[in-house]
Amino acid sequence: GGTVALNSGGSLIVGTGQTVTGSGVSLTGIGLELDGKVTAGGGTVSLIGGSGTISESGTLIAGTLTGSSTASVSLLGTAATTNQIGNLGSFSAASFTLNDGKALTVTGTVNGGSLVSITDTGLLTISGKISGTAISLTADNLALSGVVTDGGGGTVNLLARTTGTIN
């Protein structure tokens, strides 16, 4: 399949039971409500929510995820391990929450405003930059070669589950 680009002058909704599939997927709207499945396989998924929220409670599969919203972004999936994202590129939002079910590398700049919360299964590698007033990174193992910053006035919580490591 080729690249799929869907643009809406209002809210863009991928309903429960609906699927958007392409080698790359770009979804743009005032807000995005993703209750179905959005998949680019190993390609890039770009989520752009203008002044509205981006909420995902379905399935998100991408080699790389990028996007932005001036409001909150909540990518929780049907379950904590449903989303399968390999790389998190640049993403900006008023707050950013992601549950991911496979090893994830943050390669871009993630600016989450008041909150950045990433819960990952496997190894969470930060080679890019994460910034937010409150940051919570939870994974089986954490590898931090990039920058994680609360700007000096917030909180950063790092949690490696059970017998995991933080490097």
* Rounded Cα gap, residues 115 and 54, in angstroms: 15
| Main-chain dihedrals φ then ψ at residue 138, nearest 5 degrees | -130, 130
pLDDT for position 163:
76
pLDDT for position 48:
98
pLDDT tens string 66-84: 999 999 999 999 998 999 9
pLDDT for position 125:
98
Residue appearing with tokens 């999936």: 77
pLDDT bin (cut points 50, 70, 90) of residue 164 is confident
Name the strand (E) or helix (H) holding 109.
strand 109-111
DSSP string, 46-108: EEEESSS-EEE-SEEEEEEEEEEESSEEEE--SSTTT-EEEEEEEEE-SEEEEEESS-EEE-S
Q: Which of 92, 83, 87 is nearest to 114 (CA)?
A: 92
* Rounded Cα gap, residues 167 and 164, in angstroms: 10
Name residue 124's beta-bridge partners. 104, 142
